[in-house]
């Protein structure tokens, strides 16, 4: 019996902000779009410090409900303890990252041309030909799909990128949310040779007195994070919750491939 394989114009792998926003941008077209997401809930797990430039508002119309705070000051702290304070008109947003991911999902999930496949993992793809046209045959953990275009929006360890032999250089990041007495109007960045690739951070969520305290580096992230918390007098046992993730860095050699 011939296998029934559903066909789409575009298949997007990953239903976080990149995948959902791309789906939203294409939602007024007549294109049939598949969006594959390995988790069963959009926006989870939470893996972001949530501080973004207000330039984001030029790309995305941010609803007020998505903005938790605006930071007026950035304070850079050197290993010696000396600080540089920066302020201006920028005032970055502290966003509710989970809600942002769901914002675009909620806008397009009922669109008849868009179909989500949740709790389904992309496994591989191969090029094929159908009616003299080149297509991409996608295999997930549950089915096969056909599409004219495949887009990888599946993060720093992208399975789509891996299939194309792209390897991202990554930093390892960890973060806790904690009630503390830092200033709600400033973001702190701590620089140190132990985590020289980036910095440690303290980001205020707003009036709730909750702060996102994290660090990213290329190795020994847990050991360095403990040193960082000791430096700023934060007890990890007082955490509300904890997140971990990867931050890609460096230049992509190639972003688009022809089939």
**Would you identify the CATH topology of the domain 6-45+99-163?**
FAD/NAD(P)-binding domain (3.50.50)
Strands (E), 57-143: 67-70, 73-77, 83-87, 93-95, 114-118, 122-130, 133-140
The rounded distance, in Å, linking the Cα atoms of 116 and 123 is 16
The rounded distance, in Å, linking the Cα atoms of 204 and 208 is 9
Instruction: Report domain 54-91+169-249's class.
Output: alpha beta
Is the distance from CB of 157 to CB of 172 less than 8 angstroms? no
Specify the pLDDT at position 195: 96
Choose between 258 and 225: higher pLDDT.
Answer: 225
H or E element that contains 98: helix 97-108
Specify the pLDDT at position 1: 43
- Across the chain, mean pLDDT equals 90
Choose between 66 and 113: higher pLDDT.
Answer: 113
Span 124-137, pLDDT tens digits: 999 998 888 899 99
- Which residues make Cβ contacts (< 8 Å) with residue 132, sequence separation at least 6? none
Q: Do the two domains 6-45+99-163 and 54-91+169-249 of this chain adopt the same fold?
A: no
- Which residues make Cβ contacts (< 8 Å) with residue 221, sequence separation at least 6? 172, 173, 174, 215
Specify the pLDDT at position 254: 58
Is the distance from CB of 38 to CB of 121 less than 8 angstroms? yes
Question: What are the residue ranges spanned by the domains of the chain?
Answer: 6-45+99-163, 54-91+169-249
Specify the pLDDT at position 53: 82
Specify the pLDDT at position 259: 54
Specify the pLDDT at position 57: 77
The fraction of the chain above a pLDDT of 70, given in percent, is 95
Is the distance from CB of 240 to CB of 207 less than 8 angstroms? no
Return the exposure string of 5-33: e unless at least 16 CB atoms fall within 10 Å of the residue's CB, then b.
eeebbbbbbbbbbbbbbbbbebeeeeebb
Span 212-251, pLDDT tens digits: 999 999 999 999 999 999 999 999 999 999 999 998 887 6
Span 39-92, pLDDT tens digits: 999 988 777 778 888 877 788 888 888 888 989 999 999 999 999 999 877 778
Query: Is 90 exceeded by the pLDDT of residue 256?
Result: no
Query: Is 60 exceeded by the pLDDT of residue 36?
Result: yes
């Amino acid at each position: 019996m011939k296998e029934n394989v559903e066909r789409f114009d575009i298949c997007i792998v990953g239903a976080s902000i990149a995948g959902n926003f791309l789906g939203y941008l294409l939602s007024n077209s007549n294109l049939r779009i598949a969006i594959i997401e390995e988790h069963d809930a959009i926006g989870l797990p939470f893996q972001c410090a949530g501080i973004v430039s207000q330039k984001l508002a030029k790309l995305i119309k941010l609803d007020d409900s998505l903005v938790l705070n605006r930071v007026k000051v950035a304070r850079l702290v050197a290993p010696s303890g000396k600080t540089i304070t920066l302020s201006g008109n920028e005032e970055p947003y502290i966003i509710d990252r989970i809600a942002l991911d769901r914002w675009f999902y909620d806008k397009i999930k009922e669109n008849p041309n868009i179909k989500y496949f949740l709790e389904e993992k992309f496994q591989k793809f191969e090029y094929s030909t159908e009616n003299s046209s080149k297509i991409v045959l996608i295999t997930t953990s549950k089915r096969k799909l056909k599409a004219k275009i495949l887009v990888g929006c599946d993060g720093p360890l992208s399975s789509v990128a891996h299939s194309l032999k792209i390897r991202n250089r990554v930093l390892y990041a960890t973060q806790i949310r904690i009630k503390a007495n830092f200033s709600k109007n400033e973001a702190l960045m701590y620089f140190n040779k132990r985590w020289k690739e980036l910095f440690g951070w303290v980001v205020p969520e707003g009036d709730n007195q909750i702060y996102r305290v994290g660090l990213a580096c290329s190795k020994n992230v847990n050991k360095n994070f403990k040193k960082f918390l000791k430096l700023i007098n934060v007890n990890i046992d007082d955490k509300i919750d904890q997140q971990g993730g990867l931050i890609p860095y460096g230049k992509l050699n190639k972003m688009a491939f022809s089939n």
